Amino acid sequence: MSGMASDHNTSSQEEYLPNYLQKEDPFASKLSREADIIAGFYLTVIGILSTLGNGYVIFMSSKRKKKLRPAEIMTVNLAVCDLGISVVGKPFSIISFFSHRWVFGWMGCRWYGWAGFFFGCGSLITMTAVSLDRYLKICHLSYGTWLKRHHAFICLAIIWAYATFWATVPFAGVGSYAPEPFGTSCTLDWWLAQASVAGQVFVLSILFFCLLFPTAVIVFSYVKIIMKVKSSTKEVAHYDTRIQNSHILEMKLTKVAMLICAGFLLAWIPYAVVSVWSAFGQPDSVPVQFSVVPTLLAKSAAMYNPIIYQVIDCKFACCRSGELKTLQKKSSMKKSR
């Protein structure tokens, strides 16, 4: 009986064809032409805003590159990842949406899938490193005494190596990149989990090392930070002005990091849920019209970060100007006395 069952499973796996092989043209759009045009305009706006915003962040950071703190270096790296997604990836999908089909063939599909996963993975691992830096800086104060700029650059090398490894693994025959169900974009071949045990191992490895584990580290770090801040607010009030100003700056960097991580995860988690559903649910159980919405939402993640930088910087500048006016008033009162 067990032999018959294994034969049946093997035959069912051999008979299974993913959605992109069930059609004569896997790159033909499964959406209406009007929907493709709307998606194309949406991605055009997102791409322009993301390119300008992240380019501005990188340009302004380059003007004070020798004064950047380790956490700010990580933030610049995140802007580089977001700019890479916008410049390298979005033009392919924009042209394809307006053309009502993927026009770059299998080579372009694999390149687009690799670039998207490479920069996306780099963004998430960068945010993981930032969250750990914030956790150690806020919850273990002695950590800040030995962290130097060269440690941040070593961390960047590890981040890029990690992203390169996982993005290139599919080219080693373990997995692959394939068209999305709606035809005008490409991604990891999540449907391999429907075909074989090796495909399931590949998909589960990607989910754990490139989503679940980094997300768990981020959530742990910021939960511990929130608990620490609640318990230490009164203690900081007794320190001198220099320590209080340093604490304010660290909290500013922490708020930026928390908002960036929240925006990234909110944009990508729906896409991850749909991908897991496609990989381990019933074959082709995700409606095509439903699958395009999380994809477009995930592509907008690169636009949020520059907005977050500016909002926090404006609030921080207002706080600093308020503190400066207070100090000026105190000094003038002392002089008059």
Q: What is the tens place of the pLDDT at every residue in 248-269?
A: 666 666 777 788 788 888 888 8
Number of H helices, E strands in the chain: 12, 2
Let me know how long the chain is.
Answer: 337
**Strands, E assignment, the chain:** 177-179, 186-188
Q: What percent of the chain has pLDDT over 70?
A: 74
288: confidence class by pLDDT, cuts 50, 70, 90: confident
56 pLDDT higher than 60: yes
Q: Is the dihedral of CA 168, 172, 176, 177 positive or negative?
A: positive
Q: What is the tens place of the pLDDT at every residue in 147-162?
A: 678 888 999 999 999 9
Distances (CA, A) of 20 to 281, 314, 330: 17, 48, 71
| pLDDT for residue 109 | 94
3-state SS, residue 242: helix
Q: What is the tens place of the pLDDT at every residue in 10-34?
A: 444 445 556 566 666 889 998 999 9
Cα 22 from Cα 25, distance rounded (Å): 9
Asked if the 27-316 domain carries CATH number 2.30.42.10, the reply is no
Cα 224 from Cα 49, distance rounded (Å): 34
- Mean pLDDT (the chain, rounded): 79
Could you count the other beta carbons within 10 Å of the beta carbon of residue 212?
Answer: 13
Cα 205 from Cα 197, distance rounded (Å): 12
| pLDDT for residue 146 | 62
Tell me if 37 sits within 8 A of 119, measured CB to CB. Answer: no
Q: Quick one: average pLDDT of 168-179?
A: 89
**DSSP state string for 74-100:** HHHHHHHHHHHIIIIIHHHHHHHHHHT
| pLDDT for residue 280 | 82
Distances (CA, A) of 91 to 154, 155, 256: 32, 30, 29
Least confident of 102-111, 112-121, 297-306: 297-306
Higher-confidence position of 42 and 316: 42
Is the pTM for the entire model greater than 0.85?
A: no
